[in-house]
Amino acid sequence: MKKELIAMILAGGQGSRLGALTDTMAKPAVPYGSRYRIIDFPLSNCVNSGIDTVGVLTQYQPLALNTYVGNGHPWDLDRNNGGAFILPPYQHSKGSDWYKNTANAIYQNIPFIDNFDPDYVLILSGDHIYKMNYAKLLEYHIAKGADATIAVYEVTKEEARRFGIMTSDENGRIVKFEEKPAKPESTQASMGIYMFNWPLLKKELAEDEADAASSHDFGKNVIPKLLAEGRQVFSYPFQGYWKDVGTIESLWESNMDIIDRPRDIDLQDDSWRIYSRNPVKPAHYIAPGAKVRGSALTDGCVIYGSVHHSILSHSVVVEAGAVVEDSVLMPGVVVRRGACLKKVIVGMETIIGENDQIGGEENKEHPYYNKKICSESITLINGGLILKPDISVPGNCMVSMAQTVAESDQIIERCENIPAV
Amino acid sequence: MKKELIAMILAGGQGSRLGALTDTMAKPAVPYGSRYRIIDFPLSNCVNSGIDTVGVLTQYQPLALNTYVGNGHPWDLDRNNGGAFILPPYQHSKGSDWYKNTANAIYQNIPFIDNFDPDYVLILSGDHIYKMNYAKLLEYHIAKGADATIAVYEVTKEEARRFGIMTSDENGRIVKFEEKPAKPESTQASMGIYMFNWPLLKKELAEDEADAASSHDFGKNVIPKLLAEGRQVFSYPFQGYWKDVGTIESLWESNMDIIDRPRDIDLQDDSWRIYSRNPVKPAHYIAPGAKVRGSALTDGCVIYGSVHHSILSHSVVVEAGAVVEDSVLMPGVVVRRGACLKKVIVGMETIIGENDQIGGEENKEHPYYNKKICSESITLINGGLILKPDISVPGNCMVSMAQTVAESDQIIERCENIPAV
Amino acid sequence: MIRNTCGLILADDKRIHMGDLTRPRALSAVPFGGRYRIIDFALSNMVNSGILTIAVSTFNKYKSLMDHLGTGSAWDLDRKSQGLYILPPYISSESYTGRGDDLSGIISFFREIKQEYIIVSSASCILNTTYDELMAYHRDKNADISVMYNRDGYKAEAPVTILDMTRSGRVKGVYENPLNPVSNRNSLGVMLMRRELFVEILGEAMSRGTTEVNPEFYVKEFDRYAIYGYEYKGCALRINSTQAYFDATLRALSEPTRTDVFWQKQPVFTKVKDEAPAIYSEDCEVRDSMISDGCYIQGSVKHSMLFRNVSVGNKAKLTNCIIFQDTQIADGCELENVIIDKKCVIRPGIKLIGQAAYPVVIGKGAIV
Amino acid sequence: MIRNTCGLILADDKRIHMGDLTRPRALSAVPFGGRYRIIDFALSNMVNSGILTIAVSTFNKYKSLMDHLGTGSAWDLDRKSQGLYILPPYISSESYTGRGDDLSGIISFFREIKQEYIIVSSASCILNTTYDELMAYHRDKNADISVMYNRDGYKAEAPVTILDMTRSGRVKGVYENPLNPVSNRNSLGVMLMRRELFVEILGEAMSRGTTEVNPEFYVKEFDRYAIYGYEYKGCALRINSTQAYFDATLRALSEPTRTDVFWQKQPVFTKVKDEAPAIYSEDCEVRDSMISDGCYIQGSVKHSMLFRNVSVGNKAKLTNCIIFQDTQIADGCELENVIIDKKCVIRPGIKLIGQAAYPVVIGKGAIV
């Protein structure tokens, strides 16, 4: 059945900069902001923009995403014509391929897209927190008579060196694109959101696939080629909250923004709900002796201890005498009595032992000290762990089963499977 | 959320014995019996048996299956807790694997199954036509106190040589299992339907996976090992219609059974509906000059010609003067005026040219003659083809784009993509 | 696709009576065309136009309508935040009263939603289209209200709403069932306007004591609003009586009506029944007929419409017949110009002969 | 899991009046426990027992109930062939009459389906369980009808249905609101029987002129059928009055009631609202309270139940309060022993003080 516009969400990446958090789930499935998972944002944006057909391209640990997205019902994407589709790589009669890169992932799914015979295809990332009306982007794309339109975000000159930077003329037409320029000519950063005319994109993808020198990436190959061909490529400036949550630091920051910059992210906005799969739990309970301030909580939490400036997902338990500060606790985390967390991200279903002291001052000699994934003194505890009681872990550490530490330094009692939803 | 019983449908196979029909779709997605696809049978059996959580394991050309199963709505499997899940192979943090075989496919999906914490897991094939109440199978399994129960079907001594044959004692306990025995001891053939206690199966799958000598197949490895260990493995005798539609001959036969043995297959049975995804087409129309006898038709067909002893899927057009006999026409096939089909299976959306003569007497010298896939003079025309007019193809031929024939013998005008649904 | 528009379908029309066919059901719940109900056409037109919020208003006999519409999933309207709403008259009543009150329920529903436009459709016309052109016309004319009509006003049966229009297309007069029509422009009961205007007009009507919605009553405000007529040039079948229903069905068997009504680019959605395919016996003879899934045909069927799961026995002969679902015609029956409702049993050898101008109707569940 | 069983929920009870709380809605549509409506408990109990065909019968004020139940998807009851059915009284009426008739609609619905057993549940008791043990007891006793009761018959408010039972558990007498109860066994309005028996009893009742269903009226047939009482030992909250509602809610804040009602192994399903998480300001103080998603709390909240999307202003003080969804409590308010319905606005500095034994109730949409 024909659709004017369908969206394809690139949800394939392992997201290795999120460290142990993505050991068992793809990045878009990572819990965020008390009630959500990262993928709720692009999915909700699609539905709120009137897009009812969304392909979710996935190959790395898709189970959590697969069961989380499920029938698509929470996002109103359980449609008979269209809806949400998880699209893994597959075998065909002439062989089989994993997705080589972003453009190749779309290339491999040309038959899926052709099924809906769309005029336009919207390519999205699965790991950004923002609210955008793609219908407006499409209007702009049509009004400009564009071949492709790229959403861009104003960054500082400083930040510009970390992004793909677009230089546009006065009409918004992109004249130059540079990946992480040392001397940025502009401060318009690509948001990784591309609107294409499907017939053109299909042709370009086939050519890109045939090009042995290409790395089959939208940013590195497809867009530069369009520009080189002199195509009408426009930039669409986006205002509003936008954050790539691809690192532990940005994930922590973006979580804190919910309480520090509530108006910017505006989750209360009735006209643009962010939908999520509901955990089916009772309202949360704050006990007589508890103290909760400057925090965000959701269903199923039970708080006997003290919670300050923290983001708690559903079903988190904080026992009496425990203190949670500047932290992000994912679904099902239990903080046993007397434990103390400071600037910690704790993965799903992990149990913090009695009187554990986690986070705070850094200690570069500590066996769990991590400088590759963690920064800004944020400590990351992976999901599914049961920590021993009375242990202490300083700031900027990463704790997961993968770490090899001396027997005497071992703080993990055991590890359990995290249920996918 | 806990489930007592979940089902896993092995839908991965390429089904190479169906030849060109499975070039672009997995075997379970092949249209069958006018209104159905093969997978409708296990899916409908599950729902009618009260099973609301079904994993469909697929890796070969899953797009058709993926879009056909979609949100699961036609089978009432668009559930919030449970429902239908397409389960492809995936990458995990320690690498990635295609499904090596049936047992390995289930092994790779242990986390999926564990999500539902089931007591029992039912393993099904995606390519059999039958109606079975799995709830009764489970009752039997529980009553026998079985570790595993295998559904068996009574075959003749003759046929037994082509099946996995079970020998059971007077209580139904299986004492011996032989794969395609030269001298069958019994006539109970395995239907490839296995009921397992999940904790046991999980353990057995892990052991099987660790066994480098195993080919990771239920019939060849897992079941023999259970028997060798002295487990309680029972046979569950099934009466009623059952057909493996794994070959062109059996696919044709099973289609014809709808008109030749309507009471056996009993598709009219109100208490056990076979559900399918509806094509949203008007009722079919028989024109004033048409002649339709001894056939099965469904929505969207328009018949001006003559149809006898044939099975027509939705949206088939038979023009004036065309004759269709003993044939199976899949969705969207068009038979142009004056064409004549005899004992032909035509794949989806193919157009038979004006005055084409297809099927009938065999001619072993014919460039399209095929003895590997076709038999019994059945001719197979692949989907998506537009045949030239005035051509002639004898019986027992297979016509697909993959065939290399001399320019002068070419009967295909062109080939088009078949939409997945 | 038109955006930002909601829909209202008036599922019944108190001016139209179809005897046994509308006794157990609302007009729009009457089966039509082998596998549909009349309402499927109005619903599908809206869905195919991109309308996602659709209310169905009905004043009685909801059961078959509710059974048919279910959760709305057949029209992909089982949505979280939009979708299909059934508005029986009770919906606003807060006290223990049984008295129906169509208007207040409709008003409160349409006051609360957010779409800019509304399309109101009556249930009595069968047509298969999208409303894109109507919307373009409406905007082009800068109209307050646009009314869809076609040009069968001279010959159509009552109820007829004749539009008198200026050259520019503006409505300057409206006549209900006139003896001498001033034009052949006959309203199809499809109207487009701003949602807020609709709520305003309805509110006024209610304040004057009206409690029911008549598909065309707002058109009478032509001296106050800029009302424009939009001509629909495709085929429209008016179901105003049993006779009209019979004629429309048989007409729909032949081209070009068959294509106009059933075979447009956009599909007509309806509730899925999951019947088996239709089976034709070796001895059957079927000509110029539409046959639905689940039928089992042994006899002869000519120029007829068979709904789902109808069985026609050996040597039975059907000519110019409309047979609703689950009805069994036994061996040797002879039926001509007959409409048979659901779940009837016609016993062996029975002969029922009506006239083309006066078909015999057998009510639901009858055993003849 | 019990199989082959359907359910009927009687969504209202004409014997129970709760003033402003039941003015705009049926009893079972009254919000409870922060994110639920009372009916969610009866519905979830059935769904968690494996019952897939559930009818909800109601005689008026359907709107909030229909809005809440929607397509049934929150309970996974948006099914093709089974699922959730709302049975307003009209459902059987074939003529243009407005008079409600509960029984004939219920009878015709339950006559047509196929399940062997039926569980009938009233709306006025909140409990969280599955019916597996009830079914086992029913079969063990070879009972015609099994009635669930608990032992709060001496103290409970009317309506009370006291069961007099033999040692073997068979009911030998039934007393409605007795002055001197013969036992403390008080029916919970949950009954299990064969579906056919249910249809038979209802048919008889209708033939004697009854037109409404009372949750316990079939129990009175104890001399004719083998009726057994099954004691429910978990916690059950009876909502018989505004006072009972207030007490039940505050009781549910503390253990063991909180666990018994909300935190059982089986979840209580309800309509999803997709609110943002609750936000606690730096200066707020919350103690011994249940808080729902979407709340924004700046002031002090003690021993209270806040539904979704409630905002509590700076320096506002709430003690022993129940605040329904979308209500705003402005800065500096002081509220004690108050129930505030949906969408109210309490303006800055307002003081509302009720008594624990006589809470103040503010009706839906009020601006105070």
pLDDT in tens, B144-165: 999 999 999 999 988 888 888 9
pTM value? Answer: 0.87
ipTM for the predicted complex = 0.83
CB contact under 8 A, B282 and C278: no
What the block records as the tokens of B341 is: 């089909």
Range A89-110 average pLDDT: 76
- Residue A63: which pLDDT band, with cuts at 50, 70 and 90? confident
Least confident of B10-19, C139-148, D163-172: B10-19
Locate all alpha helices (DSSP H) within A131-197, ordered by sequence: 134-143, 157-160
As beta bridge partners, residue A84 has: A54
As beta bridge partners, residue B154 has: B188
Comparing CB atoms, the residue among C78, C94, C98 nearest residue D71 is C78
Burial of residue C91 (number of CB atoms within 10 Å: 0-12, 13-18, 19+)? buried
pLDDT digits (tens, 9 = 90+) for D58-95: 766 777 888 888 888 888 888 877 789 887 665 434 43
pLDDT at res. D97: 39
Locate tokens 């506002």: which residue?
D316
pLDDT at res. B115: 87
How many Å lie between the alpha carbon of C6 and the closest alpha carbon of chain D? 18
DSSP D71-134: TSGGGT---SSSEEEEE-GGGG--SS-----HHHHHHHHHHH---SEEEEEESSEE----SHHH
Above 80 in pLDDT, residue B214? Answer: yes
How many Å lie between the alpha carbon of B345 and the closest alpha carbon of chain C? 18
Phi then psi for C347, rounded to 5 degrees? Answer: -75, 165
% of residues, chain C, pLDDT over 70: 94
Q: Which residue of D has its CA nearest to B48?
A: D81
Which residues of chain B lie closer than 8 angstroms to D76, CB-CB?
Answer: 79-81
Range B396-419 average pLDDT: 84
The span from the CA of C42 to the CA of C30, in Å, is 13
Which residues of chain A lie closer than 8 angstroms to D258, CB-CB?
Answer: 285
DSSP annotation of A27 reads G
Query: Which residue type does C361 have?
Result: V
- Please give the C-alpha separations between residue A417 and each of B5, B115, B387, D248, in angstroms, as whole numbers: 21, 10, 55, 38
- Residue B402: which pLDDT band, with cuts at 50, 70 and 90? confident
Average pLDDT along chain D: 88
Which residues of chain C lie closer than 8 angstroms to D23, CB-CB?
Answer: 94
pLDDT digits (tens, 9 = 90+) for C245-270: 999 999 999 989 999 999 998 999 99
Q: Which residues of B touch chain A, with CB atoms under 8 Å apart? A: 14, 22-24, 58-63, 66-67, 70-73, 78-80, 83, 85-93, 96, 98, 109, 111-112, 114-115, 417, 419-421
Which of B340, B283, B329, B331 has its CA nearest to residue B306? Answer: B340
As beta bridge partners, residue B385 has: B415
Comparing CB atoms, the residue among B73, B273, B288 nearest residue C73 is B73
pLDDT at res. B93: 52
Comparing CB atoms, the residue among C263, C276, C286 nearest residue B286 is C286
Which residues of chain B lie closer than 8 angstroms to D3, CB-CB?
Answer: 50
On the question of a cis peptide bond just before residue D256, with omega within 30 degrees of 0, the verdict is yes
Comparing CB atoms, the residue among C1, C74, C81 nearest residue A76 is C81
The span from the CA of A19 to the CA of A28, in Å, is 14
Give the total residue count for chain A.
Answer: 421
Q: Of C156 and C38, which is predicted with more confidence?
A: C38
The span from the CA of C225 to the CA of A347, in Å, is 62
- Torsion angle defined by CA atoms of residues B362, B367, B369 and B371, in that order, rounded to the nearest 10 degrees: 140
Above 90 in pLDDT, residue B15? Answer: no
What is the CATH T-level fold of the domain C279-362, as seen in this structure? UDP N-Acetylglucosamine Acyltransferase; domain 1 (2.160.10)
pLDDT digits (tens, 9 = 90+) for C66-98: 888 888 888 888 887 778 988 766 543 443 333
Query: CB count, 10 Å around CB of A246?
Result: 18
- Please give the C-alpha separations between residue B244 and each of B20, B149, B255, C102, C277, in angstroms, as whole numbers: 18, 20, 12, 57, 21
- Residue B355: which pLDDT band, with cuts at 50, 70 and 90? very high
pLDDT at res. B420: 60
pLDDT at res. B60: 73
Burial of residue B78 (number of CB atoms within 10 Å: 0-12, 13-18, 19+)? buried
How many Å lie between the alpha carbon of B2 and the closest alpha carbon of chain D? 10
Decide if D301 contacts D291 (C-beta within 8 A): yes
Decide if C110 contacts C206 (C-beta within 8 A): no
B408 reaches D (C-beta below 8 A): no
DSSP B342-384: ESEEE-TT-EEPTT-EEEEEE-TTSTTB-SSS--TT-EEE-TT
Above 90 in pLDDT, residue A194? Answer: yes
- Residue B99: which pLDDT band, with cuts at 50, 70 and 90? confident
pLDDT at res. A15: 64
Range B36-58 average pLDDT: 94
The span from the CA of B149 to the CA of B416, in Å, is 45
The span from the CA of D225 to the CA of D143, in Å, is 8
Strands A128-130 and A242-244: antiparallel
Q: Which residue of A has its CA nearest to D252?
A: A285
pLDDT at res. D232: 95
Q: Where are the domains of chain D?
A: 5-262, 279-362
CB contact under 8 A, D79 and B76: yes
Average pLDDT along chain A: 91
The span from the CA of A48 to the CA of A68, in Å, is 19
On the question of a cis peptide bond just before residue D181, with omega within 30 degrees of 0, the verdict is no
Which residues of chain B lie closer than 8 angstroms to C294, CB-CB?
Answer: 268
Which of A111, C144, A416 has its CA nearest to residue B67? Answer: A111
Strands B344-346 and B174-179: unpaired
D98 reaches C (C-beta below 8 A): yes
CB contact under 8 A, A76 and C1: no
Decide if D127 contacts D41 (C-beta within 8 A): yes
pLDDT digits (tens, 9 = 90+) for A19-41: 888 877 888 899 999 999 999 99
Q: What angle do CA A12, A13, A15 make, to 5 degrees?
A: 150
The span from the CA of B381 to the CA of D255, in Å, is 71
Range B197-220 average pLDDT: 93
HSE-CB at D134 with a 13 A cutoff on CA atoms is 34
pLDDT digits (tens, 9 = 90+) for B18-33: 877 887 788 889 999 9
A119 reaches C (C-beta below 8 A): no
Residues 51-110 of C with CB under 8 A from A: 73-74, 76, 78-81
Q: Domain C5-262: what homologous superfamily?
A: Spore Coat Polysaccharide Biosynthesis Protein SpsA; Chain A (3.90.550.10)
Above 80 in pLDDT, residue B262? Answer: yes
Decide if A319 contacts A304 (C-beta within 8 A): yes
Above 90 in pLDDT, residue B126? Answer: no
Which residues of chain A lie closer than 8 angstroms to C79, CB-CB?
Answer: 76
Query: CB count, 10 Å around CB of A316?
Result: 26
A273 reaches D (C-beta below 8 A): yes
Comparing CB atoms, the residue among B23, B112, B114 nearest residue A93 is B23
Above 70 in pLDDT, residue B13? Answer: no
Rg (CA), chain C: 21
pLDDT digits (tens, 9 = 90+) for A203-220: 999 999 999 899 999 988
Which residues of chain D lie closer than 8 angstroms to A290, CB-CB?
Answer: 286-287
Query: Which residue type does C166 have?
Result: T
- Across the C/D interface, how many CB contacts are shorter than 8 Å? 55
Least confident of B57-71, B104-118, D156-170: B57-71
pLDDT digits (tens, 9 = 90+) for D336-361: 999 999 999 999 999 999 999 899 99
Residues of chain C by 3-state class (helix, strand, coil), percent to 5: 25, 30, 50
Above 90 in pLDDT, residue A387? Answer: yes
Q: Of D228 and A86, which is predicted with more confidence?
A: D228
CB contact under 8 A, D24 and C94: yes
Average pLDDT along chain B: 91
Which residues of chain B lie closer than 8 angstroms to C300, CB-CB?
Answer: none
B47 reaches C (C-beta below 8 A): no
SS (HEC) of B68-82 = HHCCCHHHCCCCCCC
Above 80 in pLDDT, residue D12? Answer: yes
Which residues of chain C lie closer than 8 angstroms to B259, CB-CB?
Answer: 279
Which residues of chain C lie closer than 8 angstroms to A5, CB-CB?
Answer: none
A294 reaches D (C-beta below 8 A): yes
C277 reaches D (C-beta below 8 A): no
- Residue C100: which pLDDT band, with cuts at 50, 70 and 90? very low
